Chains A and B, each alone.
Chain A
Amino acid sequence: MTLTTAVRCLLLACAIALLAGAASADDGPIGYIKTHAGAAFVVSGGKALEAVPGLALRQGDVLRTGDDGRLGLTLLDNTVMSVGPNAELVIDEYLFEPGNDKLGLGVRLLRGTMQFISGVIAKLRPDAVKVRTASGTIGVRGTRFLVTAGN
């Protein structure tokens, strides 16, 4: 490897690290896994992690369960969600800064079953909470409900 190639590789590595840093900036935990059984994973930044209690969740994470899987989680605004087997749930949007008037929660159930128990975001700004499936949207007015998304 020539010196210039080495320098180029180093620069490329730096650029990639910078980009990755930019993508994950301001990306603190939004909640944690609390329960799990069977095959249950959190896909975060392209990596699948086993959904063990205490695992941190971030905006953009995808929750996946297998045939025998289930998992439960809580978010920082006390929203509680749990999913059954063969489920895929995407946390599209999470904003919880009541002091700065920034509130939003958007999740998408691509398949499987879920329970949703609303938290503080739904209390402070009901319009900011949406649970979506492929063809329908649920607007939340402070409540507990179950969703199944069949294929």
Chain B
Amino acid sequence: MLLRGSHVIAEAAVRAGCRFYFGYPITPQNELTEYMANALASLPDGVFIQSESELAAINMVIGVSMTGKRVMTSSSSPGISLKQEGISYLSGQELPAVIINTMRGGPGLGNIAPAQGDYLQATRGGGHGDYRTIVLAPGSGQELADITRMAFEYADRYRIPVIILGDGMMGQMMEPVEFPDPIDPKSLPPKPWVLDGAEGRPSRIIKSLILDTSAMEEHNWKLFRKYEAISREVPEMEQFLTDDAHLAVIAYGTASRIAKGAIKRVREMGLKVGLLRPKTLWPFPKRILLQMSRTISDFLVFEMSAGQMLEDVKLSLEGRGRIHFYGRPGGIISTPDEIAKVINNIYFKEGLERE
């Protein structure tokens, strides 16, 4: 099927057994909301509400998630800021949910052009309190489909909100996609913690208020242990032409597509350059990156921001390798030629060996 990115996410969500969607209009991701409106209207168990605000949407997500059913919301940067209250509650209450952020230029109202300025917000929790969310960064149409399916799996497996971090370019881009078989929501394993009326069992509470400080500490450590397990089990990184590389570009999402184009160009000139593309931004694939530093001396972090993932690269490499940065914030989309020039510059300046 040939579909634009926003529609791929929506279709993949429905096929993952998601029958509940709540959202508020915001550019550049309205196509996703509109697709869900159509798709869920045609399903007998589908529920779509255009909410009065992003705050309302994320709180409706909380309500559905409490009943154990797969549920999604989507927005773009300013709207995601509003959802952070609910994301913090979902985290504290250990509720699964999938949240799509089609990033745009910021801060503030910014613009509607593709950008990657919400990296730190997404990977550092984003709302109040000591928590993390799984953050997935698709790099192609096919991956939008696959990652959306995974997002629901992870959300249920770890009882955690999962954020798919894309941008307007990803959302509009049309590529051929093969979808996995649809899941019947009724076939999903029952969750033993849901609220559905306490018929025939003791009543349950889902809450995040823990007034006793020792109990609150233990809850935080419990979350921490979960995050540790996720950090071991979930990180993923695509490696492209890295076997013989002296320099690796590190980029995710749309930036990684631009970087790939640039790498193909400089490879033709005999420069040994590869790409490292994190598919998970939290947990960041730091172990893989650290391993790469045995053979790669130079790392160029390329982001559509003033430098946010850069912090994770520095933390992961623990002082190994030379780290370079190139980024353009505000919704500017660099061209592959522009990045090729940047690579060239670094390559020659550092005196790296050519073929």
Answer yes or no: are A and B bound together in one complex: no
